[in-house]
Structure 1
């Protein structure tokens, strides 16, 4: 019985990863790791998609793809899969400071010029038929590449992005970049930042957009302006989707695929733009993600079966016969306060500037929020505690059990990344391996996450330790308390967006999008806390597991703003958000 969870997790990881691999390689496409360097020496990372039939000297058109801020190359897989299965060579890059690439945010033209040079150097690429596409801040490397090699590309797609934002202001003109398709969600949260219009639906009348299109009247979505043979073609697509949906929906992917099929010549397998299979890859990585959670719990169960670690096993001891009014109030505050304080403390945390020790600006902000809520958790415990919980505390064994549990998931992820070039993800949630360069960053932030998790998980377990509470209700309560506040926050923000075209807090779009991840992640923290406490009568193993996986998740998926290779930069999108 104790093997059941681990076995089920492993089965889901294998099945989901193989499914994702097969979809990613649809039609015989080969996907492999790509490495190159910027002129300054920073190592760059990408995934190179190579269609079949290029071994005999035949060259194919190619597209360079870039993700947005605090994302990675895997986020662009819907575009990559659909272009590659149509016969395009695709390079999905990690921007500088992101994923497996060195440097920091904005350095070396976000890595775009070196990525384009690498793509053009491939012997199976038709150097005269290259397109560039980027989502959000991914417009930075795309436009930097276009500036660096004005004759090195034929078409550009900016998805949820805009010229003149991540580069020189004089980019806002009708002759740059060449043959431009703007794909922008009618509900995009960044409309004011990108195009200076309050709502995405107002984009056709944007003065900035009209300058890019070279027209005086509002731009008509779907109409082609200019002359493709002269490189002045322009088209606006305005699907009714949000910023995160632009790279996770047919409405965002289809226009980009259609534009590249129309502007580049030589694709081996033309298909209708709406013919898309990428969603099955996302289904596979979702299965693997669920499997990773089960493997984590199952590995802890197996660890308790080891002779030395078996001494951690204890039956949970209730702290009170009933929860009482104070206990319910404490649970309510534990659910509400983290979500209520999230936006203010994230904004305050922006003052914690990146440094050599703490180089990730967004992680600094998240920790400012987390540490502030650590203090609030202590206050809740001091003033609303009912009963005195009796916990078992064994630091050495708890630490070893936590490392073994998280290590099992890390090894599984490393294996599927190396063998199949996929990771554990779904939409805005993504677990990727820690690169060698990010291990010191992970270790620097880990003590702070540990402090937060120990206090919060201890407080949660103390509130859940009620005599006679059912197992199912305890799990539901823990998941609801930890993730429920952010669920309400996200629901309010997006209900307002869909009703009015504006977020409830329209000046903080990035932090609202980041908050979407907190719903499942914090619910998982609650589940881990209950699972480990019920088996050990201790909050410590669960707290250490949560600290390890939160530090790993944020460090691997967040951007570095400081590096030894480049001076620190603050792109306009980061400064103004």
Structure 2
């Protein structure tokens, strides 16, 4: 019911009560690639009343739904919106190394398609993208400049720099954007962009000082060498005459981080205001009047329902003939508190696991070999570098958990009466594989809900950077590569949580569960808090710890905490730690490989 309410509510918001048609587009582009996009077409856009169109794009390692806020707010104001999966992302064709700019990474191919739609005003085409989606907009402008008939009238770059200098003209300042209306959203706490550097590559200014730099001033002065006496300000729209046309330039500097852009009321309002100024919105609605947050709320409700379903459906299948033999009452018996020595091993193991988690993550982030894999810098079996990084880190921590459990059992557990068979660690091979079959059945059923919701409602379950979405079948083959790595972690983590660390605390089992869930995620929490505390205080990140690594940890924190609870609840019904562990590995792997960038060699 939660999943159904989520889908229905999200659909009503994104269709503006049925007045905006939302369609899943797949087509062969002018670049010879297959592209996926979501089309938002207001009823007011017709062949006799043509509407402006905005092509939107997500950033690297994301997908088209990350532009939900812009899609909802622009379409309810009468704009046609095409939200693309950039090449290499979502359901579009994979990205080939060396061809990252092909078709503007797909954006310019979408611009060309949009210009031919009968209900689109081809003179009012805008493009916007977040992070590498903004980079795609820059690629698209360059392609548009070379076209016989340029199509792009307005560009808003969100959380990525503009192109300020011409590498073919001694790196002089120039105006790539011509007579187009152009804006930049430059976050004051952007992890990657909006810095100035000296000749040795040392950062001279932090992102929050971007507006004072020569790059920003040149951009606001239409690509000319900045005039010191004409210092322009953030948030103000400047209009200069270029080739006989009045062209708009503006830089917005919200006090936000890079990943917050697609989920920000401030930035969404900026997108609306900019395109109203540049292209004119067909339906006048104040920029601050926004409803996309309700869609996010409904999408988030679906995530909750999805997680609950994993436990509830597992328990339901235990009542069927096929899986009844896996049902157990052993694990639900009254459990006692640990003694003083047991608590010492418990807390010591948790602290040691947290230290290993932090150390291994930082070490991998600083490894040149891992950088080659993570950022797909060279051909590799790991076509999804970001997933490979997290998967390898997870497996390392799984092996660390195995060592801690082994030492704990030999030194303490065996002497204190821990029976590995009664605890479910040694269930027998038949029960083991039977349990894996149950986990697989639950995972298939859970993702079937996603596809039903996608087919009937064109929505999925997501909240900010955490998303469970429909996907193309090829992603399952990719998932098989990473599943063993995630299985090592989640299975061994489930064994540690349930077979070694399950007891009452304060006479309540849930206290024990909550502590284990917290410590599962504590290492990433510490790293993220340390990173952003440093950033907000100094204006720069922790030296040697790149911003992308802390961003990757944000959804991981949720996964680690929630999967601990899921495995505990399933264990209580089965006395089998492998069912919950393998189910978590299956679900997390599929979520990971369907929400990232895929490269081919």
Give the alignment partner of residue 512 of structure 2, picking from 474, 483, 504.
Answer: 474
Structure 1 equivalent of residue 249 of structure 2 = 234
Q: Map 1:19-418 onto structure 2 (within 5 A).
A: 19-26=9-16, 28-55=19-46, 57-104=48-95, 106=100, 108=102, 109-150=104-145, 151-164=150-163, 173-176=174-177, 178-191=180-193, 198-214=205-221, 215-217=226-228, 218-227=231-240, 230=245, 232-265=247-280, 267-314=281-328, 315-316=330-331, 321-322=338-339, 323-348=342-367, 349-352=370-373, 353=376, 355=379, 357-385=381-409, 386-387=412-413, 388=418, 389-390=420-421, 391=424, 392-393=427-428, 394-418=431-455
**Do the aligned residues in 2 keep the contact of 1:60 with 1:88 (CA within 8 Å)?**
yes
Equivalents in 2 of 1:520, 1:86: separation in Å? 34
The corresponding residue for 2:200 is none
Counterpart-to-counterpart distance in 2, 1:280 and 1:346: 36
CA contact (8 A) 1:454 1:539 kept: yes
Paired residue for 1:457?
A: 494
How far is 1:414 from its partner?
Answer: 0.7
1:333 Cα shift? 2.0
Look up the match of 1:15.
Answer: 5
Distance 2:259 2:196 in 1: 15
Q: How does 1:551-562 map to 2 (within 5 A)?
A: 551-562=589-600
- The answer (yes or no) to whether the contact 1:185–1:242 under 8 Å persists in 2 is yes
- What's the secondary structure of 1:191's corresponding residue? coil
Per mean C-alpha deviation after superposition, the further-off stretch among 430-439 and 383-392 is 383-392
Q: CA deviation at 1:405?
A: 1.7
Q: How has the CA–CA distance of structure 1 residues 171 and 375 changed in structure 2, closer, same or farther, with 3 Å as cutoff?
A: farther
CA shift digits 1:68-116 (9 cap, x unpaired): 0111111111111111111100000011101111121725231122111
Distance of 1:463 and 1:52 partners within structure 2: 60
Deviation for aligned residue 1:164: 3.8
- Further displaced range: 382-391 or 538-547: 382-391
Distance 1:423 1:339, change over 3 A: farther
* Residues 414-473 of structure 1 deviation map (CA, whole Å, 9 limit, x = unaligned): 111111111110011111123122221112222222223222322232332337863312
Which whole-Å CA distance do the structure 1 matches of 2:527 and 2:166 have between them? 33
CA contact (8 A) 1:82 1:276 kept: yes
Q: CA deviation at 1:220?
A: 0.6
Contact 1:241/1:251 (CA < 8 Å) preserved in 2?
no
How does the TM-score come out when normalised to structure 1?
0.90
C-alpha RMSD over aligned residues: 2.5
Give the conservation status (yes or no) of the 8 Å contact 2:13–2:295.
Answer: yes
Deviation at 1:149, TM superposition (A): 2.1
State the alpha-carbon separation in 1 of the partners of residues 363 and 166 from structure 2.
29
Number of residue pairs matched?
552
The answer (yes or no) to whether the contact 2:211–2:234 under 8 Å persists in 1 is yes
| Matches of 2:362 and 2:158, distance apart in 1 | 26
Find the aligned partners of 1:21 and 1:168 in 2 and give their Cα distance: 46
Q: What are the superposed Cα offsets for residues 365-414 of structure 1, whole Å, 9 maximum, x if unpaired?
A: 11221222223222222333431433135222211211122222201111
Q: Output the TM-score relative to the length of structure 2.
A: 0.86
Query: Using a 3 Å threshold, how does the CA distance of structure 1 residues 174 and 149 change in structure 2: closer, same or farther?
Result: closer
The answer on whether the counterparts of 1:163 and 1:171 sit within 8 Å (CA) in structure 2 is no
Confirm or deny: 8 A CA contact 2:59 2:129 kept in the other structure. yes
Q: Give me the whole-angstrom Cα distance separating, in 2, the residues matched to 1:255 and 1:396.
A: 54
Q: CA deviation at 1:478?
A: 2.3
- Give how far 1:499 is off: 2.8
- Secondary structure at the aligned position of 2:24 is classed as strand
The answer to whether the 8 A contact 1:183-1:237 is kept is: yes
Take 1:556 and 1:102, find their aligned partners in 2: how far apart are those partners? 13
Q: 2: distance between equivalents of 1:64 and 1:168?
A: 27
Distance 1:224 1:133 in 2: 17
Is it true that 1:494 corresponds to 2:532 in the alignment?
yes
| Partner Cα separation in structure 1 for residue 270 and residue 504 of structure 2 | 58
State the 1:334 CA deviation.
2.4
**Which residue is equivalent to 2:561?**
523
**1:242 to partner: Cα distance:** 1.1
Deviation at 1:193, TM superposition (A): 6.4
- Whether the aligned pair in 1 keeps the contact of 2:111 and 2:125 (CA below 8 Å) is no
The answer to whether structure 1 residue 510 and structure 2 residue 548 are counterparts is yes
The 5-angstrom pairing of residues 534-553 of structure 1 reads: 534-553=572-591
Write the distance in 2 (CA, Å) between the matches of 1:50 and 1:297.
38
Deviation at 1:208, TM superposition (A): 2.3
